[in-house]
A and B are shown apart, each in its own frame.
Chain A
Amino acid sequence: MFDLERWQEIFDTIRKNKLRTFLTGLSVASGIFILVILLGFGQGMQNGIAKEFEQDAATSVWVWPGVTTKEYKGMNPGRRIQLRNENYDFAAVLLADKIEHKSPRLFVRNSFVNYGKESLAYNVQGVSAQFQFIENEFMSQGRFLNQQDVDLKSKVAIISNKIKREVFKDIESPIGEILDISGISFKIVGVYGDIGGEREEDRIYIPISTAQQVFNGADYINNLAYTLPPAKDFETAVVQSIQFKNAIKSYLQQAHTVAPDDTSAIQVYNPMEEAKRFYSLMGGIKFFFWFVGVCTIIAGIVGVSNIMLIVVKERTREIGIRKALGAKPWSIVGMILHEAIFITAIAGFSGLILSMGLLELVGPHIEVDYILNPSVDFNVALTTVIVLVVAGAIAGFFPAWRAARIHVIEALRDE
C-alpha cells in the first residue's frame, strides 16, 4: 500500500492512458453520484414525511363525526352525528388509563374577530388546557389556557406568533390586549408557536366552555383530540394507537347508534398508523434506491473490470518480463488490484464529493411536499466508501487473476 514503486507504476500507466482511465473513472463516479443522490433523496423523503407528522404529537388521535351511511336499528342513513360533552366525558372515564392528554374542540364558525378597528381573518377554536400538548404548541409568551379558564368560562384568548407578527407588530407585547370576537371581548393571555410552522398558526384558542356558552349555547363538540402515553417502541405505539382507535370508535358508535361497519359516521385519524404506512413505504423506496444505485455501481465495476482486462492484455509482455525477473504471482495480483482499487477509489470519491456537494448546495432549497433537506449522513457516506473499495477489489480481481496466470514464455513471445 505504501510501496512507492508501485504507486509510481500506477501513475505511470494512468499517465500513459489518460482518456481510458478517465472514461473508466467516469462510469464509477457517475455510479456513486447516482447512488448518493438517490440516497439523499430517500433521506429527504424521510425527513419530509417526518416533518408532516411532526405538526401534531406523534401519538395523537383525532375523532370527528360525519354522516351515517347505513341503516341501523331502525335509524335511517344520512343522519348527521353530533358529539356532545357527555361523549367526551364518558370516553375520558372509559379509556382513562389509555389517555395521556385529552381535549374537546369546537370550531367557532361565522365569527368576526376585531382588534381595535382592524378586522382579522383567523379561526377561533374552543379547546381545553391539554390541547397544547396534543397540537404540539409551544408558548412564546404568556401561558396557554388552563383548567381554571375552562371551569370559569374565562374570556381569554391565545394567539399565535404569526398573529402577533401580523397584527401586534406595533406594540411591545400583545399580552393583555383585548380581542373582539363577534362582539365579545377576550383578553389575550398567551402567544403560542406551532412546530408545524406558519400554516398551523392561523388559530385563536379560547376555552371550550366559553366557546360553547358564548357562541352556540349547547354542549356541542366538533371533535375530540387525544394523545396516548409514550410507548417503549414504535411497534407498541402503533398497536396501542390502533387499539385506542377501535375502542373509542366502538364507544361512539354505540352511543350514537351507528352501525359498527359504518366508516363515515365516526372517523378516527391516528398519525401513528399513517406513519407506519408511510415508513414502510419509505423502507420500500429506500430499498429500491439502494438497489438502483448498487446496480449502477455494478455497471461501473464491470467497466473497470473490462478496462483492467485490456490493461492486462496490453501489459502481457511486461508482466512476462516481470515474472522472468522474479515477480511472484501475488505481486502481480497486487499490482493490478492496486490499480483497480486506486481508479475506483479516486473516481468514486470524486463522485461522492460531487454528489454530496450538490446535495449540500441544493438540498436546503428544495421545497416540495414530502421532500425536505435531502442529505446523506456520515454512515451512508462511510457505507458508500466501503462499497467503493470492495467494488474496486472485485473489479480488479479477475483481471489480476488472469495476469498472475500469464505464462512467461508465451508472454515474451507476444509482440
Chain B
Amino acid sequence: MIQIKDLHKSYKMGKNSLHVLKGINFNVEEGELVAIMGSSGSGKSTLLNILGMLDSSDTGEYILDNVPIKNLNETKAARYRNKFLGFVFQSFNLINYKSAAENVALPLYYQKVPRKERQEKALKYLEQVGLKEWASHLPSELSGGQKQRVAIARALAAEPKVLLADEPTGALDSKTSYEVMDLIQKINDQGNTILIVTHEPDIADMCKRIVHLKDGVIIEDKKIEQVRAEQYV
C-alpha cells in the first residue's frame, strides 16, 4: 500500500539546515495497523506530514497505492488527499460551527458527492462510531472522546486507502483513549490500513506493528502481538 525509499527531509532555519529525516525506508501492506513511535524531534510528525502529502520530501520515493507521489501541485495534492487519505488529529480539528454530521460529510462535499448521499453516508459512519444520535450536535456539545470519534468518522467517510492518525489519543484521558483505540482496532479489523503516530507505549502496543524513529532514522521496526483495547473499556 505504502512504499517509501530513502526519504530525506530537511528544514531551513535561517542559515542552518535541520536534517529531520535521514533516509527512511519502509513499506506498509494493506490492512496493517502501524504505530510510529519516537520522542519529540524524532521526525515522526514530519514523516506523517509527508505521508499525508501536507509536506513534500527533498529526495526519495513515495508510492501510495501504486501511484508515485511526487511533483504535486496544490490542486493535485488536494485531490490525492481527498481520494487516498483520511486524517485524524490530536486536537480533533472539527469545524466548530458545523454539526457532527456536517463535519463527517465535509470530505464527501469535496468529492462532489450529492447532498442527500452525503447526509446518508455521514449518518452511516456516525453510526459506525456509535454517535448516530449525536448527529445534529455541535462539536462544543461533545466530549473529547466523542469529538475524536466524529473525527474518525469523518476520516472514514471519504473511504480512504490509508487512515493517518497523529496522536489520536494525545488529548484524551486513558479510558477514553482506549475507547478510541478500540474503535480504531475495529476499523482495522474491517481491512483498513491505519498509521498512528504516538509516543504512548500502551497505545503503540494496541497496534500490530511498531516503527521506532529516532533522530530521523528508523531504529526499530517490529511486528507485535496486538493488545485488544476492548478489555480495558
Q: Give A residues with C-beta under 8 Å from B.
A: 4-5, 12-13, 16, 317-318, 320-331, 404, 408-409, 412
Contacts and interface: CB of A to CB of B under 8 A. Distances in A.
B142 interface: no
Given A325-B154, A326-B158, A408 B54 contact: yes
B83 interface: yes
11 contacts: A4-B115, A317-B93, A322-B95, A322-B106, A323-B78, A323-B81, A328-B110, A329-B74, A329-B75, A408-B54, A412-B93
Contacts of B75: 328-330
B109 interface: yes
A324 B83 contact: no
A329 B78 contact: yes
A326 B107 contact: yes
Contact of A409 (B54, B78, B115, B158): B54
B97 A325 contact: no
Contacts of B74: 328-329, 404
A324 B110 contact: no
Nearest to B80: A326
A5 to B, nearest CB: 6
B111 interface: yes
Interface residues of B, number: 27
B93 A5 contact: no
Contacts of A326: 78-79, 81-83, 107, 110-111, 158
A318 to B, nearest CB: 5
A318 B78 contact: no
B107 to A, nearest CB: 4
Name, among A12, A318, A323, A325, the residue most crowded by chain B CB atoms within 10 Å (CB to CB): A325
Contacts of A318: 95
Nearest to A404: B74
B87 to A, nearest CB: 5
Contacts of B79: 326, 328
Given A329-B75, A330-B75, A409-B55, A324 B81 contact: yes
Interface in B160-214: none
B25 interface: no
Contacts of A324: 52, 54, 81, 87, 93
A318 B98 CA distance: 11
B128 interface: no
A94 B54 CA distance: 91
Given A12-B97, A324-B52, A326-B111, A412 B89 contact: yes
Nearest to B81: A326
A16 B97 contact: yes
A285 to B, nearest CB: 49
Nearest to A329: B74
B110 A331 contact: yes
A324 B87 CA distance: 7
B42 interface: no
Contacts of B97: 12-13, 16
A325 B115 contact: no
Name, among A330, A331, A408, the residue most crowded by chain B CB atoms within 10 Å (CB to CB): A408
